[in-house]
Amino acid sequence: MKKGSAISDPDLPALVRRARPDDIDRITMVLDAAFSDDPVSRWVFPEHPQRDRWHRGMFRVFAEWSIMTGGAYVAEAPDIDAAALWIPAGPDTLAVPPQFPYLPDLQQALGPAYPRFVALFEHMDVVHPRDVDHAYLPFIGVLPECQDHGLGRLLMRHRLDELDKAGTPAYLEATSLRAVSLYEHLGFDRTRACIRLDQGPALWPMWRRPYGIEPEAAPDPPGRA
């Protein structure tokens, strides 16, 4: 089994590999820091003395889930400074099973932010494509002090290369127009759907067909822009 692939970036050499169970603590810390000021995170987790604890708790649950399904990746430079959580999805494999948001561990981890998390999940679930096998990216993040060195791009490029070889589409929700632009440069397109949270920010679902695959072999989900 390959432990990872060394990818040289003009700014920062890094090793990209699949995450292991012993990476969970570091992945949780990385994503917690990366999403601390994200507009959707701020909507789910408003200001509160315990906000940081609940915020970290959510990422720990997702990190455990993604590692269990084999879709978590990290970039080491030399510490783990970036992480991406991918989850397989499709007609027979739901990205997040219906019971997931209602697991007791998740409810406990999120505290009073749990109802808003469920509302977010239900908004996203309505527009999530179900009729095509694909890889779903709920989270990718880089430590704030390590941003702008290309680690996020390396993580994305590594996994997208794998998906291209397998002929597998990819799906995500961007949480800002800046993120939309970045993902468009990686081959993603916006769908017609736009998720608007009650008195909160918007999310833009995006879909990417694998390069080198005929459209009929990797169809787009309904509602492409």
**Considering the domain boundaries, does residue 225 fall inside one?**
no
Check residues 106 and 27 and name the one with the higher pLDDT.
27
Instruction: State the average pLDDT over residues 183-196.
Output: 92
Q: Residue 217 pLDDT > 60, yes or no?
A: no
3-state secondary structure of 136: strand
**Considering the domain boundaries, does residue 24 fall inside one?**
yes
Structural domain range at position 65: 5-217
d(CA 153, CA 148): 10
**Considering the domain boundaries, does residue 156 fall inside one?**
yes
d(CA 40, CA 45): 8
d(CA 74, CA 36): 19
Q: What angle do CA 7, 20, 73 make, to 5 degrees?
A: 40
What is the token pair recorded at 178? 């800046």
Q: Which of 186, 174, 182 is nearest to 211 (CA)?
A: 186
pLDDT, tens digit (0-9, with 9 covering 90-100), for 29-56: 999 999 999 999 999 998 888 899 999 9
Check residues 204 and 125 and name the one with the higher pLDDT.
204
Identify the helix (H) or strand (E) that includes residue 132: none
Helices (H), the chain: 24-34, 39-44, 51-68, 104-110, 114-127, 151-166, 177-184
pLDDT, tens digit (0-9, with 9 covering 90-100), for 103-157: 677 888 888 999 999 899 889 988 988 888 899 999 999 999 999 888 999 999 9
Check residues 72 and 4 and name the one with the higher pLDDT.
72
Distances (CA, A) of 184 to 18, 172, 206, 208: 24, 12, 9, 9
**Considering the domain boundaries, does residue 68 fall inside one?**
yes
**Considering the domain boundaries, does residue 222 fall inside one?**
no
Q: Quick one: pLDDT at residue 102?
A: 56
**Considering the domain boundaries, does residue 224 fall inside one?**
no
Strand 134-142 to 202-208 pairing: unpaired
Distances (CA, A) of 73 to 70, 108, 214: 9, 26, 28
Q: Kindly indicate the confidence band of residue 94, based on its pLDDT and cuts at 50, 70 and 90.
A: low
Tell me what percent of the residues of the chain surpass a pLDDT of 90.
57
Non-local CB neighbours of 16 within 8 Å, separated by 6+ positions: 4, 5, 6, 7, 73, 74, 75, 76, 154, 155, 158
d(CA 203, CA 175): 5
CATH number of the domain bearing residue 58: 3.40.630.30
What is the token pair recorded at 6? 């060394």
**Considering the domain boundaries, does residue 115 fall inside one?**
yes
d(CA 222, CA 214): 17
Count of structural domains, the chain: 1
**Is there a contact between 204 and 174 (Cβ–Cβ < 8 Å)?**
yes
Instruction: State the average pLDDT over residues 206-215.
Output: 81
